[in-house]
Amino acid sequence: MSLLAPTSFEAEQYRALRHMIEQLHRSADLSVIAISSPDAADGKTTTAINLAGTLAQAVDSRVLVIDADLRGANVAAHLGLDEHAAPGLVDAILNTRLTLESVVQTHSHLNLSAITAGRRPSAPYEVLKSPRVGELLAEARRKYDYVIVDTPPLVSVPDSRVIEKWVDGFLIVVAAHRTPRRLLEEALNLVEPAKIVGMVFNGDDRHLSRESYSSRRHRVVRNSTSRRQTAPDE
């Protein structure tokens, strides 16, 4: 399971990210948040899980994490859930008789609910393009305070782009010192600027300014003016 020990140094940095998200929830009604990255293996799923888990530490918060990365589903494994214990997102999209409630799994030790990806579709883009996705996310918005959606990488496949209209914002996860600047720029160009909530830099050990939430492993840059902030060339 990927959730950090509550007293670990990294957990403190996720609490800083949680604070930013909670502020935006109150000031801008930010509830449905997509987590994506320019490329695979940048740490987006780990970020999604740990952010959801940190938000769920508030006992009065209702938090749902959804695995919408239908090509590389990994949320179930990270949370120690049985992928086959219940229908998943794909099943609910393709079978309108399935309700949101019927595909939600509750973690036994955490104040956290999850929807796994479900069966692997032959055409993930077409599945995610369905208006049914919007209906499910709208219902999730009504029933939960925070909905964290783990989405596919932005550049390699177009799947995340069809989800954009149904989410409030994107957190872009970047592998510091590994993701090329051109790839990050390409990813940012694929998302409406106003919907970029911020960027999470994984593995960043540089000295950071006070404008950034920082640690030896993570840096979060908030997009407060809709102007894109990018990492230096690697």
Question: What are the DSSP calls for 54-116, one per residue?
Answer: HHTTSTT--EEEEE--TTS--HHHHHT--TTSS--HHHHHH-TTS-HHHH-EE-SSSS-EEE-
Q: Return the pLDDT at 128.
A: 97
Q: Return the pLDDT at 230.
A: 38
Measured CA to CA, the distance from residue 124 to residue 71 in angstroms comes to: 7
pLDDT per residue as tens digits for the range 65-77: 999 999 999 999 9
Burial class (CB in 10 A: 0-12, 13-18, 19+), 15: middle
Ramachandran sector of residue 226 (left: φ over 0; alpha: ψ -120 to 50; beta: rest)? left
Tokens of 173: 């996860």
Q: Return the pLDDT at 6.
A: 57
Q: Return the pLDDT at 112.
A: 94
Q: Return the pLDDT at 2.
A: 45
Q: Return the pLDDT at 5.
A: 56
Q: 3-state class of 176 per DSSP?
A: coil
Q: How far is CA 44 from CA 109, 166, 187, in A?
A: 23, 19, 14
In the chain, which residues have pLDDT < 50? 1-2, 207-218, 225-234
* Structural domains of the chain, with CATH: 26-168+177-194 (3.40.50.300)
* Helices marked H in the chain: 9-28, 44-55, 75-79, 89-94, 100-103, 124-128, 131-143, 159-163, 181-189
Q: Return the pLDDT at 224.
A: 52
Q: Return the pLDDT at 33.
A: 98
Q: Return the pLDDT at 204.
A: 62
Measured CA to CA, the distance from residue 115 to residue 139 in angstroms comes to: 13
Of 155, 224, 153, the C-alpha closest to 193 is 224
Q: 3-state class of 188 per DSSP?
A: helix
Q: Which residue has the tokens 């940095």?
A: 13
Which of the 8 DSSP states describes residue 177? T
